[in-house]
Amino acid sequence: MAFKKQDTTTLFQRGDKVEVASQEWGYIGSYYTAKIVCSIGHSHYRVRFKNLVNDDKSDLLEEIVMASEIRPMPPRHKTLLPENICLYDIVDVFDKDGWWVGFVSGRDEQSYYAYFPTTGDNVAYPLQLLRFHQEWNMGNWISSN
């Protein structure tokens, strides 16, 4: 699964909640919740992450990121119920402070198993850490399921 650059025609305002795609090796394909602090020219934004802290852990991490790495917060699906989740559905899983794309690979009484093609890991998660995967494309959200 390759990283897809986001549509850069969306203009974000200070305080907007967004998701930022990681460009770091080992984290590519993951998204992290942040707020827009300010715009920097036409192609960059300063963001403040919700769950990531700076190196000395004294404050939330702020970074300057390219507009193509930012997307709006995806809308919530009301249909994420056990009976609506099927084997091989594409989902986002909240882990390590961000959202990771994976495939539903199995289920037991307590958990859903997600397979992550970028790492080859197959990990169990409770339902509340999953959401249906959606892509931001040309200003619209497209559901994968």
Check residue 8 and give its pLDDT: 53
Q: What is the mean pLDDT of the chain?
A: 90
CA gap 30, 145 in Å, rounded:
19
Residue 42 has pLDDT above 80, yes or no: yes
Phi, then psi, of 138 in degrees rounded to 5: 55, 40
b/e map 44-63, b = 16+ CB within 10 Å? bbbbebeebeeeeeeeebeb
* Chain segment 116-137, per-residue pLDDT in tens: 998 899 999 999 999 999 999 9
Within a 10 A sphere around the Cβ of 93, how many other Cβ atoms? 21
Sequence-ordered alpha helix ranges (H) in 70-121:
none
Contact indicator for 92, 80 with CB cutoff of 8 Å: no
* Chain segment 80-122, per-residue pLDDT in tens: 788 889 999 999 999 999 999 999 999 999 999 999 998 899 9
Q: Which CATH architecture has domain 82-143?
A: Roll (2.30)
Q: Any idea where the domains of the chain sit in the sequence? A: 17-72, 82-143
Tell me if 17-72 shares its fold with 82-143. Answer: yes
Q: What share of the chain is helix, strand, coil (3-state, %, to 5)?
A: 5, 50, 45
Quick one: average pLDDT of 23-36? 92
* Range 44-48 contact pairs with CB under 8 angstroms and sequence separation of 24 or more: 45/12, 45/70, 47/18, 47/20
**How much is the pTM?**
0.86
Give the DSSP letter of residue 141: E
Question: In this structure, which topology does domain 17-72 adopt according to CATH?
Answer: SH3 type barrels. (2.30.30)
Spatial CB neighbours of 78, under 8 Å, sequence gap ≥ 6: none
